[in-house]
Amino acid sequence: MFSKSCEYGLQAILYIALHASGERRVGLQEIAENQEIPSHFLSKILQILVKQKLLSSTKGPNGGFILNRKPEDITLLEVIAAIDGLDIFDRCGIGLKTCSDEVPCPIHNKFKFLRENIRQTLSNETLADLRLQVVQGKSFVTVKNLEVGN
């Protein structure tokens, strides 16, 4: 449903929400290694998130990335919008250019319902919600080292 960049961005920002705190910033290599994301690709994605003011970055030996706002103030939809944009929620389910409420494709009404449901879910889910699920052991983020957070 989302681009590989967006998937990696979601994984990375959640990893940062789990591992960055106070003065501790998370480095690019740490995220890349633990999430098994190519570092050159991840670097570009994280810079998009910095430019969109979802993350802050600092260079140097103690540098890295940290959330720009509290995890409860960042929704998944914001992260998706920053990387992929939101036009996925307006496209036809089978790719027709003229599909609309007035001129619907064969799956228009069912797909419209699903799109709205997904959009609502992503609008309501925050990084804090996901972080809590991981910390409580209900979900996981890093399989490689079986880490769950702080």
For the chain, which domains are there? 4-84+126-135 (1.10.10.10)
pLDDT above 50 for 122: yes
What predicted TM-score, i.e. pTM, was given to this entire model? 0.88
Q: In whole numbers, what is the pLDDT of the chain averaged over residues?
A: 92
Contact (Cβ atoms closer than 8 angstroms) between residue 105 and residue 93: yes
User: What does the pLDDT look like over 1-50, one tens digit per residue?
Assistant: 799 999 999 999 999 999 998 789 999 999 999 999 999 999 999 999 99
User: What does the pLDDT look like over 65-102, one tens digit per residue?
Assistant: 999 999 999 999 999 999 999 998 988 989 999 999 99
Residue 117: predicted pLDDT: 96
